[in-house]
Homo-oligomer: A and B are copies of this chain.
Amino acid sequence: MKDKKPMKPVFKEGAITSDFIGNSIYKHQTKTNIGAHNIFLGQVRADDINGKIVSAIEYTAYEDMANQKFHEIRELAFKKFDLTCMHIYHSLGTVKAGEICLFVFVSSPRRKVVFKALEYIVEAIKADVPVFGKEIFEDESHQWKVNS
């Protein structure tokens, strides 16, 4: 049935700031068995869709299921790859074009594994986590984002 281990919080209200990311990197400098970090950042694009420009994405999620899926992705990644640590943060609510909505951070003693692990985790998030994105245009109309 459901895994009962404590889950790390993933969702953050609004954009993920560069200060938050810098600080997260800083905290890993005490872990002196780490030799390689790999970080993925998803940033909201100001896409031009038939002449209308995306100004922001408003994220919602089926939070209970999403947290469960993030947890499963996390557990499986630790099983598959020799990682020292892993952090996942995803925005909820409004994230403006140019701002960061996804921050995935993996660390390992050696580099080869972090590349594989990071891509695996990001692809799993895109495919398996019930997060929904409403692309808001500058004229306040909207369309729904679909991952490709």
Contacts and interface: CB of A to CB of B under 8 A. Distances in A.
A35 B102 CA distance: 10
Contact of A115 (B21, B35, B98, B119): B119
Contacts of A135: none
Interface in A24-40: 25-26, 28-40
30 contacts: A18-B22, A18-B23, A18-B25, A18-B29, A19-B22, A21-B21, A22-B22, A22-B25, A28-B43, A29-B99, A30-B98, A31-B98, A32-B45, A32-B46, A33-B45, A34-B43, A34-B45, A35-B43, A35-B45, A36-B40, A37-B43, A38-B38, A38-B118, A39-B39, A39-B40, A40-B114, A42-B111, A45-B109, A111-B122, A115-B115
